[in-house]
């Protein structure tokens, strides 16, 4: 079965491609390499350096005829979305619409979309499920949510089956110290270089950290299950940034002290995703807790 992975040269996408190969699928990758890295990609995977907003996309679909599309290409930097909401929207909204059009034209059987906990905005210090009100506070949150509406409507109008995965904060090997979930990779770099890490705000803000290999497995399960459903993909745990830093300091045997800077307006305060629905309908549960995931990440 042929699976086209957009953003497949990126952090999460490249782990999905690796798992697709292990499981006997045929991945094909479209990525403009704006943040991706060809070095992450298995050498035998057909690769198209292309923007998902390009008019060349249709020719790629015509040539490759994918059975399933896993869509991960996106502008992923929350601060960047505040500085340049237009480019963020073009990549994340218009790019997704163009992909959906191609899916209909070339009779793709399923569309799997990487959404984000950013769609919920500030939910309070609660574990939230998929029915929680959508209140994004960044343009990134808006541009990740709007495609969900298009995907649902494409399903209703044209029968394109979908699964939407709303990720918590993903971390793991190959993550660059940028983007929305990058705090682990930022601390990792700073600890490695003995540079004083910066924490925005008081460090009491919480995140639900989920390991990238668990996220890749959720995508593989979604190839066959979870039809026309939305799932939170997180560990249903909360870790505050001060505790994360202390843990990484200890694991790397460093004794660095963080420097505190003012909180950023676009940052949510709390995040914790209830994953019961993914467990029940996808058969997905995270296999890595934070310590085991960090061991793989720090010592990679």
Ligand X SMILES: NC(=O)c1ccc[n+]([C@@H]2O[C@H](COP(=O)([O-])OP(=O)(O)OC[C@H]3O[C@@H](n4cnc5c(N)ncnc54)[C@H](O)[C@@H]3O)[C@@H](O)[C@H]2O)c1
Residues marked as catalytic: 140
Question: Applying CB under 6 A, what is the total number of residues that bind ligand X?
Answer: 31
User: Least distance (Å) from ligand X to the CB of residue 218?
Assistant: 12
Residue with smaller CB distance to ligand X, 25 or 120: 120
Q: Is 187 in the site for ligand X (CB under 6 A)?
A: no
Q: Is 116 in the site for ligand X (CB under 6 A)?
A: yes
Q: Is 185 in the site for ligand X (CB under 6 A)?
A: no
Residue with smaller CB distance to ligand X, 51 or 206: 51
User: Least distance (Å) from ligand X to the CB of residue 186?
Assistant: 12
Dihedral sign (CA 47, 2, 229, 292): negative
Query: Which value, to the nearest 10 degrees, does the dihedral of the CA atoms of residues 107, 108, 110, 113 take?
Result: -120
Q: Is 7 in the site for ligand X (CB under 6 A)?
A: yes
Q: Is 72 in the site for ligand X (CB under 6 A)?
A: yes
Residue with smaller CB distance to ligand X, 43 or 157: 43
Residue with smaller CB distance to ligand X, 256 or 277: 277
Would you tell me how many other CB atoms lie within 10 Å of the CB of residue 278?
28
**Which one of the spans 68-76, 218-226, 243-251, 271-279 is the region binding ligand X (CB under 6 A)?**
68-76
Q: Is 61 in the site for ligand X (CB under 6 A)?
A: no
Do the beta carbons of residue 7 and residue 40 sit within 8 Å? no
User: Least distance (Å) from ligand X to the CB of residue 8?
Assistant: 7
Residue with smaller CB distance to ligand X, 177 or 283: 177
Q: Is 143 in the site for ligand X (CB under 6 A)?
A: no
Q: What is the 3 state secondary structure string of the chain?
A: CEEEEECCCCHHHHHHHHHHHHCCCEEEEEECCCCCCHHHCCCCCCEEECCCCCCCHHHHHHHHCCCEEEECCCCCCHHHHHHCHHHHHHHHHHHHHHHHHHHHHCCCCEEEEEEEHHHCCCCCCCCECCCCCCCCCCHHHHHHHHHHHHHHHHHHHHCCEEEEEEECEEECCCCCCCCCCCHHHHHHHHHHCCCCCEEECCCCCEECEEEHHHHHHHHHHHCCCCCCEEEEECCCCCEEHHHHHHHHHHHCCCCCCCEEECCCCCCCCCCCECCHHHHHHHCCCCCCCHHHHHHHHHCC
Question: Which residues within the stretch 96-115 sit at the binding site for ligand X (CB under 6 A)?
Answer: 114
**Which one of the spans 66-74, 126-134, 195-203, 243-251 is the region binding ligand X (CB under 6 A)?**
66-74
- Residue from 52, 102, 160, 235 touching ligand X (CB under 6 A): that is 52
Q: How big is the chain by its Cα radius of gyration, in Å?
A: 18
User: Least distance (Å) from ligand X to the CB of residue 41?
Assistant: 10
Site track 9-48 with ligand X (rule: CB under 6 A), x = hit: xxxxx-----------------xxxxxx------------
Which two three-digit tokens encode residue 217? 């497995």
Residue with smaller CB distance to ligand X, 167 or 231: 167
User: Least distance (Å) from ligand X to the CB of residue 193?
Assistant: 21
Contacting residues toward ligand X, per CB under 6 A: 7, 9-13, 31-36, 51-53, 72-76, 91, 95, 114, 116, 144, 167, 169-170, 179-181
């Amino acid at each position: 079965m042929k699976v086209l992975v957009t953003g497949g040269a990126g952090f999460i996408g490249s782990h999905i491609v690796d798992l697709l190969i292990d499981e006997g699928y045929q991945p094909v990758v479209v990525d403009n390499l704006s943040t991706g890295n060809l070095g992450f990609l298995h050498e035998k995977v057909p690769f198209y350096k292309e923007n998902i907003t390009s008019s060349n996309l249709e020719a790629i679909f015509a040539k490759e005829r994918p059975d399933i599309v896993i869509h991960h290409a996106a502008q992923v930097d929350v601060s960047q979305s505040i500085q340049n909401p237009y480019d963020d929207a073009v990549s994340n909204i218009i790019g997704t619409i163009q992909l959906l059009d191609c899916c209909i034209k070339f009779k793709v059987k399923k569309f799997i979309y990487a959404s984000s906990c950013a769609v919920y905005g500030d939910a309070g210090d609660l574990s939230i499920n998929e029915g929680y009100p959508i209140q994004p506070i960044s343009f990134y949150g808006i541009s990740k949510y709007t495609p969900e509406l298009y995907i649902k409507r494409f399903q209703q109008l044209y029968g394109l089956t979908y699964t939407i995965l709303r990720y918590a904060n993903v971390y793991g090997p190959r993550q660059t110290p940028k983007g929305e979930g990058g705090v682990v990779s930022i601390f990792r770099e700073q600890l490695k270089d003995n540079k004083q890490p910066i924490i925005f705000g008081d460090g009491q803000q919480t995140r639900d950290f989920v390991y990238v290999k668990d996220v890749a497995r959720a995508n593989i399960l979604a190839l066959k299950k979870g039809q026309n459903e939305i799932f939170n993909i997180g560990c249903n745990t909360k870790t505050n940034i001060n505790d994360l830093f202390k843990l990484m300091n200890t694991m790397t045997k460093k004794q660095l002290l963080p420097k505190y800077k003012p909180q950023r307006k676009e940052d949510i305060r709390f995040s914790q995703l209830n994953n019961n629905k993914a467990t029940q309908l996808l058969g997905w549960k995270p296999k890595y807790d934070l310590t085991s995931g960090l061991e793989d990440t720090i010592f990679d």
